[in-house]
Structure 1
Amino acid sequence: MPVAPPRPTREPVAGARRIAAPAYVPAGTGRQARRAARRNVRRVEAGARVAESSARKAARDADRAERQAAHCLPRAGEDGSDSLRVYRPLKIQQHRATSEVLAGAYPFLAEAGLGEKGVYVGTDSYSGAAFCFDPWVLYADGVLTNPNVLLAGIIGRGKSSLAKSLATRSIAFGRKVYVPGDPKGEWTPVAEAVGGQAIQLGGGLSTRLNPLDEGPRPAALSEAEWINTVTGRRRDLLRAIVEMSLARPMHSVEATAVFTALDAAVRENTTPTLRHVVEAMFNPSHAVAGSSIDQLTADGRAVAHALNRLVTGDLSGLFDGPSTTHFHTDLPMVSLDLSRIHGSDQLIALVMTCASTWMEAAITDPDSGQRWVIYDEAWRLLRSPALLARMQSQWKLSRAWGIANLMIIHRLSDLDAVGDANSAVRNLALGLLADCSTRIIYAQEAGESTKTGAAIGLAAAEIAQLPDLERGEGLWKIKDRAFLARNVLTPGELAVFDTNSRMDGPAARRPAGPSPC
């Protein structure tokens, strides 16, 4: 007979009744005994539940007593007046105003800056954020109306270091840098450090520049247009030289004599020079309408002697023959070093006029890309009305040529030395200021701050900051926005840019690491 398999045993689960002795009933026990055993089991279970409930209650009471003893802040905060708040919503009356007025409600907020695109300049003095500037990027974004920049600051406050850092850092963005005249030779080590060229002019040097050079011809100009462009540039140069030398405007008969001699020099020589022009003025070979040969000689005598200063006078050997060097447009930086030329401001301005004209013959090509043209010690150039007119033309055409002009002066009161009040010359100088969308003002004397603020439209709070600006710190006025930024230089830049190296001895060397300058 088959035997049934044993029944599987079940393991007790959590919460099951596990009472052994009270529930045990031997086999053969009667009904009455089994009922008594079940009643006994129910009593034991009830007692266990009571004991378990009592244990949980005791644990809750102990936890509550512990929290009360620890004096913890309730989740919803203190009750009553200790909560320091009301449970009713706060209602404030609406107030509407312009953004200019509402800006006063947040006096401790700093400007957001000009964005991260472009050349890194340093840090914002208020927010500590990085400050970047690029005239071409800002013009493309509609922030600027022109790329020209004015930089003013007293000696020793770092304006030259800022100009050099802007120029050299722009090279990494594909821009080129031209310095038409460097009276102190500060840009020579900079040009050499970036792989550029520094052309030195002065006594004892064999370098000679011909300011009447044509320069490279833009591909977009026809032959007739190119001839007119070169002729206009040469006439403007001669007019500027004559008026600077004679300290007066050139008369109409003198202009006829000069331009006739220029036409003869161009017609009779493959490469016309100033020497050819002077010879044609002393000995004209052809009469023109309204003037005979004798009249041309007499009318141009004073002008010829003024130009002869550059041929046989104290400036001979600089601009009186064909150029001995060439302008390399593929170099990252080209500078004309005039530090070997000493004399009056008029002499320096005359040399800078000829040198800058030679360089400008190559930088007016719009196909040459984006370029910085930096006029250091520009206050010397502002005193020449003819040169001012040429500079104004270059300022106006900066967008078409793809250049950004940077004019460096000491103070805006330098413009007061240009002509008489309300004169055409003074208006030309002020026009250059108006054609600079970016004005960077470094530290100014207390007496100059008010004049500076009135000239470029600074607020009273901005004017009050100018005398207290630290070295390397400047107020950037970009259209209607103002920033206070600090120029930060690397140790390598400091070694090349620092114009105080001759004044600083070995003990005065600056520590390594980025430094404001």
Structure 2
Amino acid sequence: MPTRNRTRASASPLFVPRKTDRRTARAARDQFAAARDQARHAARPQARRAESGVAPELRATYPVAGRPGPFSARGGRLKLPSHRMTTATASGAYPFLAEGGLGAQGIYIGRDVHAEAAFTYDPFALYGRLDGFTNPNILLAGIIGMGKSALAKSLAVRAVAFGYRIYVPCDPKGEWTVVAQELGGQTIALGPGLPGRLNPLDAPARPHGASEEDWANEVRKRRLLLLGSLAKTVLRRDLHPMEHTALDVALDQTVAHAAARGTPPLLGDVAHVLGSPERLDSALGEPSGRLGHAAEDLAHALRRLVHGDLAGMFDAPSTVAFDPSTPMLSIDLSRLGGAGDDTALVLAMTCASAWMESALADPTGGRRWVIYDEAWRVMRHVALLERMQSQWKLSRGLGIANLMVIHRLSDLLTAGDAGSRGRALAEGLLTDCSTRIIYRQEADQLGSAAALLGLTGVETRAVSALTKGRGLWKVAGRSFITQHLLHPRELELFDTDARMHA
């Protein structure tokens, strides 16, 4: 059979002719050793040449097409064992997961930017369910034109659908009137030349279960607090002990005479008694006349509400009745405070707040929202801050959610110097807000905003870059970037730039 030619390498046995010298024999042995080594290497397969320029440890284990064979993980044949972990571990391993939201129960706000999901919020639904959510009060801050007013109005309109009632004790720009009308609510406009009258000394209806004696004491306490707030606002100082005594005596005298006549007590009657030293001294049994002298400043302070720039609004019996069943009630004070002096606005707001407290104190009144729009205008008045603080502290017992709307976080610092009573009250209102909604802030305001709210560096940078309608929501320590979405009808109803487009 024919055979293939195959190259073989071999070495013949060593042959050394006889009678050769030692030198020739050594050379023959060396040639044999070289031939033997050559034959051994020739029998081995030729090694693959290494790739030039690539270190051995950097060479690819498998070709570009992937690992060949059944273990290539192609065709859906890859099977790995399942792995379980807690959410705390997952958040550490995957730190860029979005916040899960506050749940589906509540008022629809818009879209969670990071989670790409719907965002809902309801302070009454979150209370007792969310850790760290200790109160239903809300702070809303943002520069002009970023949509904070639209958010406040949208919350009010959508809250009515959930059975909540809305109270706006101070509407300094008259923007809530059209909203109240659309909801079938009530608006009371106060100001020079307007027919509206509110008697802040009206006695609210006695709640169910309260005795007449206890309720009479409660009404007297509220009236004294109101008179003290009005006096401190006008005098711009705290009252002296004898001035408090004069208010007590004047109020008791006024209520007694009004009861005898069958009419409600009026602020004008209290101011008249304070301006009559003889009546004060005789009522207290003070023959020296010191009480009448101490009440001179009080008499002039309350006179402003009777004969000054607020004459005709709070010195007569009420011409409107408070309907606690109305879905929305707003007090339009747009005729006041236009000359740069907010004192008249604050006085009117104090009287209106006292007038509305009858509904807030009713335990059967249901859950309500109280919205303080343009609250920055009242930050410099300690008396009103004290009334607001009382309402903030009692929000859970009263079943109300207070919403305070300001422009900048630094507005809270205008309440007074560091360590003052006003500054402490303003910062206390912020502390008692479990929800903080921050719209865009100017660059020079980021420092104060971060210090007051405890913002992180990422949150601070986010606040500086927020667009219209987008805000940072901090709810009980959790943060969300939410885009507020409006219905076309809401856009038309909440448009505050109508005059700019006309």
TM-score (norm 2): 0.80
CA 1:280–1:468: 2 relative to 1, 3 Å: same
Taking the aligned partners of 1:79 and 1:272, their CA distance within structure 2 comes to 97
8 A contact 2:309–2:344 mirrored in 1: no
- Residue in 2 aligned with 1:438? 435
SS in 2 for 1:430: helix
- Residue in 1 aligned with 2:9? none
* Amino acid paired to 1:379: W
Verify: 1:295 aligned to 2:290, yes or no: yes
Verify: 1:242 aligned to 2:231, yes or no: yes
CA 1:447–1:103: 2 relative to 1, 3 Å: farther
Q: Say which is worse superposed, 455-464 or 129-138, in terms of deviation.
A: 455-464
CA 1:106–1:208: 2 relative to 1, 3 Å: same
The counterpart of 1:428, out of the listed 425, 430, 433, is: 425
Q: CA deviation at 1:327?
A: 1.0
* Amino acid paired to 2:267: L
CA 1:380–1:225: 2 relative to 1, 3 Å: farther
CA 1:149–1:293: 2 relative to 1, 3 Å: farther
Pairing 1:268-347 to 2, within 5 Å after superposition = 268-269=257-258, 270-283=263-276, 284-286=278-280, 287-289=282-284, 291-292=286-287, 294-341=289-336, 342-343=338-339, 344-347=341-344
Pairing 1:13-412 to 2, within 5 Å after superposition = 79=68, 83=72, 99=88, 103-143=91-131, 144-269=133-258, 270-283=263-276, 284-286=278-280, 287-289=282-284, 291-292=286-287, 294-341=289-336, 342-343=338-339, 344-412=341-409
8 A contact 1:453–1:459 mirrored in 2: yes
Taking the aligned partners of 1:293 and 1:102, their CA distance within structure 2 comes to 79
CA 1:230–1:348: 2 relative to 1, 3 Å: same
* Amino acid paired to 2:439: Y
8 A contact 1:213–1:361 mirrored in 2: no
SS in 2 for 1:169: helix
Taking the aligned partners of 2:207 and 2:241, their CA distance within structure 1 comes to 32
SS in 2 for 1:315: coil
8 A contact 2:413–2:426 mirrored in 1: no
Taking the aligned partners of 1:366 and 1:390, their CA distance within structure 2 comes to 19
For residues 225-270 of structure 1, give each alpha carbon's deviation from its aligned partner in whole angstroms, at most 9, with x where no partner exists: 2122211211111111111111111111111112211111111103
Q: CA deviation at 1:291?
A: 3.6
8 A contact 1:240–1:384 mirrored in 2: no
- Residue in 2 aligned with 1:41? none
8 A contact 1:118–1:137 mirrored in 2: yes
Taking the aligned partners of 2:153 and 2:288, their CA distance within structure 1 comes to 52
* Amino acid paired to 1:231: R
- Residue in 2 aligned with 1:33? none
Taking the aligned partners of 1:185 and 1:313, their CA distance within structure 2 comes to 23
Taking the aligned partners of 1:111 and 1:402, their CA distance within structure 2 comes to 29
Q: CA deviation at 1:453?
A: 1.7
Q: CA deviation at 1:428?
A: 1.4
Taking the aligned partners of 2:182 and 2:288, their CA distance within structure 1 comes to 54
* Amino acid paired to 1:271: P
For residues 58-103 of structure 1, give each alpha carbon's deviation from its aligned partner in whole angstroms, at most 9, with x where no partner exists: xxxxxxxxxxxxxxxxxxx962599389x99999xx9x9993x863
Q: Say which is worse superposed, 383-392 or 153-162, in terms of deviation.
A: 383-392
Taking the aligned partners of 1:122 and 1:312, their CA distance within structure 2 comes to 49
CA 1:253–1:391: 2 relative to 1, 3 Å: same
Q: Which runs of 5+ in 2 are unaligned?
A: 1-65
* Amino acid paired to 2:115: S
* Amino acid paired to 2:356: M
* Amino acid paired to 2:331: L
Q: CA deviation at 1:349?
A: 1.5
Q: Say which is worse superposed, 353-362 or 319-328, in terms of deviation.
A: 353-362
Taking the aligned partners of 1:402 and 1:160, their CA distance within structure 2 comes to 23
Taking the aligned partners of 1:111 and 1:290, their CA distance within structure 2 comes to 68
Q: CA deviation at 1:430?
A: 0.9
* Amino acid paired to 2:175: E
- Residue in 2 aligned with 1:499? 496
Query: Cα RMSD over matched residues?
Result: 2.5
Q: CA deviation at 1:450?
A: 2.2
Taking the aligned partners of 1:345 and 1:246, their CA distance within structure 2 comes to 14
- Residue in 2 aligned with 1:457? 454
Q: Say which is worse superposed, 428-437 or 418-427, in terms of deviation.
A: 418-427
8 A contact 2:109–2:121 mirrored in 1: yes
Taking the aligned partners of 2:307 and 2:346, their CA distance within structure 1 comes to 19
8 A contact 1:281–1:296 mirrored in 2: no
CA 1:485–1:202: 2 relative to 1, 3 Å: same
CA 1:88–1:384: 2 relative to 1, 3 Å: closer
Taking the aligned partners of 1:274 and 1:230, their CA distance within structure 2 comes to 15
* Amino acid paired to 1:137: A
CA 1:158–1:260: 2 relative to 1, 3 Å: same
Q: CA deviation at 1:194?
A: 0.6
CA 1:170–1:294: 2 relative to 1, 3 Å: same
* Amino acid paired to 2:161: A
8 A contact 1:285–1:293 mirrored in 2: no
Taking the aligned partners of 2:86 and 2:158, their CA distance within structure 1 comes to 43
CA 1:487–1:88: 2 relative to 1, 3 Å: closer
* Amino acid paired to 1:367: T
Taking the aligned partners of 1:225 and 1:412, their CA distance within structure 2 comes to 41
Taking the aligned partners of 2:266 and 2:293, their CA distance within structure 1 comes to 22
Taking the aligned partners of 2:285 and 2:372, their CA distance within structure 1 comes to 41
SS in 2 for 1:189: helix
For residues 265-308 of structure 1, give each alpha carbon's deviation from its aligned partner in whole angstroms, at most 9, with x where no partner exists: 11110311101101111125253557448333211111101100
Taking the aligned partners of 1:309 and 1:409, their CA distance within structure 2 comes to 28
* Amino acid paired to 2:423: R
Q: Say which is worse superposed, 304-313 or 283-292, in terms of deviation.
A: 283-292
Taking the aligned partners of 1:207 and 1:473, their CA distance within structure 2 comes to 38
Taking the aligned partners of 1:102 and 1:328, their CA distance within structure 2 comes to 53
- Residue in 2 aligned with 1:477? 474
